Amino acid sequence: MTDTTPQNGSVLIAPPGLKGLVVADTSIGSVRGEEGFYHYRQHDAVEVARHQTFEAAAHLLLDGSLPEAAAESAFRSELASARRIDRALFDAIAPAGHPPPPMAGLRAALSLAIDDTPTIDLDPGQRRSRTVAAIGHVPTLMAGLHRLATGSTPLDPDPGLGHAADFVRMVTGAAPSPRLARAVEIYLLLTMDHGFNASTFTARVVTSTGAGVSSALAAAVGALTGPLHGGAPSRVLDMLDDIGEPSGTEAWTRRRLEAGDKIMGFGHAVYRADDPRSALLKEVAMGLGGDLVERAADIEQRMLAVLRAWKPDAVIVTNVEYYAAVVLHLAGIPQELFTPTFATSRVVGWAAHVLEQAGDNKIMRPKARYVGPEPRRG
């Protein structure tokens, strides 16, 4: 990365939220918001989602290439093994069978289960093994905590199933149909990585201190709990339920806009063209069909018309959360697990960025501009 540090002692002022500010170099991928395009390494991410498995895409992000059949099979086995966890871990984070909320439980479990030796004291292979362990643990933990909360026993992973199908099985108690398993897998593929979003940036900042893998990933989980980042899909489903029939969309939307409320599932901080993730998830939803899909599509068009009339100078697009809510619901994923399901995917991107940051590290230490009262000296 080019050094832009002022040589005369002056200070560079970043825009609010660091919007548009380049803070690191990466070979993992990027988002081209003006084009409605993003990629994993050198591959179009939407095409990866259309044609690859979860395991192949995770290999691409972690190891730098789409694997041949033998390498994909080996990585699939590695990841399946990592899905197995010690039942004592559930006892530790859910004493007497009373689990914490899923994301809080995930933070605690990662801290307990994944070795937190500082990354600066590990070689690249040791760092990678810890990130693969975390990627494997997340779906088992999320499903198990959910089952405990609903009075059921956590299920052991099935190494014969793919990562996505096994997650759905461990949540619902039954292996999903190939069609539903693939629908969830496409969602996971689409959301593995997406530029320097808040949780990914958090993981890199923590890693830059030399901290361990579990510390970096637990911090990223904390960032993901914010409704403005990973919490929107469940709120989209609430919105669709609240609107009811599509004919009520316009009045409902205007009331919310007049009240100053944020409309979940629409708008994006980066995209100024269609969100390509939303476009593919809409295809997936339409393929699944049913009343919810038809109603969501009708509401989407009506809501976009209201939003664009309300802010005619703004670019309003449907974002990934809108059809993610529909697809996950149809696959039997309960609403309270929508954000944990996002974490099951995004942990791959976090892991790749942890490895990249640790591999060529410099601690992140920005400055803040003081705007309070003039201090007294002496």
Tell me the one-letter amino acid at 177: S
Residues 6+ away with beta carbon under 8 Å from 237: 325, 326, 329, 335, 338
User: Going by C-beta distance under 8 Å and a sequence separation of 6 or more, which residues neighbour residue 94?
Assistant: 100, 105, 145, 148
Residue 98 in 3-state DSSP? coil
Q: Where are the alpha helices (DSSP H) in the chain?
A: 45-51, 54-63, 69-83, 87-93, 102-113, 124-149, 163-172, 178-190, 198-208, 213-224, 232-243, 249-258, 276-288, 291-310, 320-330, 338-359
**Sheet of strand 43-44, all strands in order from the earlier edge strand to the far edge:** 29-32, 37-40, 43-44
Q: How far is CA 173 from CA 5, 73, 205, in A?
A: 55, 25, 38
Q: How far lies 355's CA from each of 39, 78, 215, 361, 366, in Å? A: 18, 18, 13, 10, 22
Residue 293: CA count within 13 A, CB half-sphere: 14
The one-letter amino acid code at 378 reads G
CB 251 within 8 A of CB 290: no
What residues are labeled active site? 268, 321
Q: Are 182 and 9 in contact (CB under 8 A)?
A: no
Q: How far apart are CA 132 and CA 347, in angstroms?
A: 10
Instruction: Count Cα neighbours of 40 within 13 Å in the Cβ-side half-sphere.
Output: 28
